[in-house]
Amino acid sequence: MHVHMRGGRQSAKEDWGSGSRSALAGGVTVVVDQPNAVPPLTTPDTFRARVLEAKSGSLCHFAINSGVTHDTPFKAMWSAGAMAFGETFFAPSSYSDAITPLELTRALGEISRLGALATIHAEEVAPSSDDSLVSHDRARPAAGELRAVGAVRNCNTAGCRLHFCHMSTKSAVGAAPGSVEVTPHHLFLSLEQPHTPAAFCKVNPPIRMEKERKELWSAWERIDVIASDHAPHTRSEKEQPFAAAPSGIPGVETMVPLLMAEVLKRKISLQDVIRKTSANPADLLGITPAGFSAGDRGDFAIYPKSAAAVDPDHLHSKCGWTPFEGLPAIFPRIVVMGGVVVYEEGEFSPGNPSWLAGKGFFPP
C-alpha cells in the first residue's frame, strides 16, 4: 500500500521494471505508488504520464496516488484515476515539503467531498543537528509524532477518511483517528543495532530505540496495515556524510518474508499477515481482494517452511542493498498473479499486470 517506485529522472535508484520484480519476488502482486516523485504528481498531466510509465514497465498490478499541496486540483486528480490522496506530508521529507495546518484543513475538506481516502505522513521536526541516527531520532522525536497526530485530527473538521502512514511509536498508533500503517523497518530495526554506514538506516520517521521498537510490537492488534514504504536510493547516495544522505530504504521484497519468519516462530499468525498486508489494504482502497472465492483476484504465493538470512545479492531492487541483511526471512518459491505463475524459484514469467484506477476515474 506504500511504495516509491522512482523511475523517470530517478531511474538509477529504481524503475518500474526492477521495482515490480522486487515486489513479485517478495510475494507482492499490487503496489500503490506515492506521489512525491520527480516531478511530483500534482497535476492531471504529470499523473497521466506516471500511469503511462508504469504501464510500460510494471510486471505487477499498480495504483498511483495524487499529491496534496496548497494548489492541487483535487477533483481533476480524482477523475484522472488517483487511488488516494497522499502520502500528505505534515512534515518535510525527501522530495516533498510539508503543508500548513490551514492548507491541510482545506485539502481534507475537498478530499472528503470526493469520498476519497487521505493518507498522512505525521511528524514534527525540531531544530537539531542531523549527523547520526541518534540525532535524526531527536530531530523527529517520538513525542512529536504523537503531537502531529493530534494536530491532524484537529485539522480534519470535514470528517475525511484518514490513513496514517508508517507510524513508529505505540502512542501514535493508539491515538491515530483512522487506519494505521506500520513498516517492517520500525518493527525489526532499532538504534541499538549496529549500522554501517549509519545512513543506510536513515529514514523518516526515524528508527527508534529498542524499547520503542518492542512497544510498537505490543500494539500489533491495533495496526491495520503493514506496508514497506519502499524508498530506494543508490549506494553512493547513502555513503555520503549522514546529513547529506537522503532518507529512505528499500523494503518491498523483504516485507512479507520478514513477517513469514515471525509466523514460523509463532510470534504472529499467518492470518495476521494476510489481513495486514493484503485484505485490509484492499478494503481500505476499495479494490478487489486476493483470494480463492468467486470474483477474487487469483493472486497468492507458496512459501517453504524454513527461513534463510536476507542476502542483498539475491534481491532484485536496482539499488542493490538492504538494511535487513542477515535477518531471518522466508521468501516465496512460487508467486501467482491472476491465476498465472509470474515467479518461480528465481525466474520471472509474463503475467497480465493492470492499472488499478481509483473510484473517481473518468475515462477521457
pLDDT > 90 in the chain, percent:
94
pLDDT digits (tens, 9 = 90+) for 323-348: 999 999 999 999 999 999 999 999 99
Report the top-level CATH class of 16-348: alpha beta
Instruction: Select from 94, 44, 91 the least CA-distant residue to 66.
Output: 44
CA atoms within 13 A on the CB side of 147: 10
128-132, 212-216, 265-269, 291-295: which range is least confident on average? 128-132
The residue that leads in pLDDT, 92 or 205, is: 205
pTM reported for the whole predicted model? 0.96
Q: Please determine, for residue 359, whether its predicted confidence score (pLDDT) is greater than 70.
A: yes
From the candidates 15, 137, 224, 229, which is the catalytic residue? Answer: 229
**What is the predicted pLDDT for the residue at 98?**
84
Element (H, E) at 164: strand 161-164
3-state secondary structure 112-151: HHHCCEEEEECCCCCCCCCCCHHHHHHHCCHHHHHHHHHH
pLDDT digits (tens, 9 = 90+) for 37-57: 999 999 999 999 999 999 999
Based on the residue annotation, tell me whether 229 is a catalytic residue of this protein.
Answer: yes
139-148, 192-201, 314-323: which range is least confident on average? 192-201
Q: Where are the domains of the chain?
A: 16-348
Q: DSSP string spanning 24-48?
A: HHTT--EEEE-S--SS-S-SHHHHH
**What is the predicted pLDDT for the residue at 304?**
97
Mean of per-residue pLDDT scores for the chain: 96
The helix/strand/coil state of 107 is helix
**What is the predicted pLDDT for the residue at 92?**
61
Mean pLDDT of 349-362: 97
Mean pLDDT of 131-157: 96
Cα end-to-end span (Å), the chain: 26
**What is the predicted pLDDT for the residue at 126?**
86
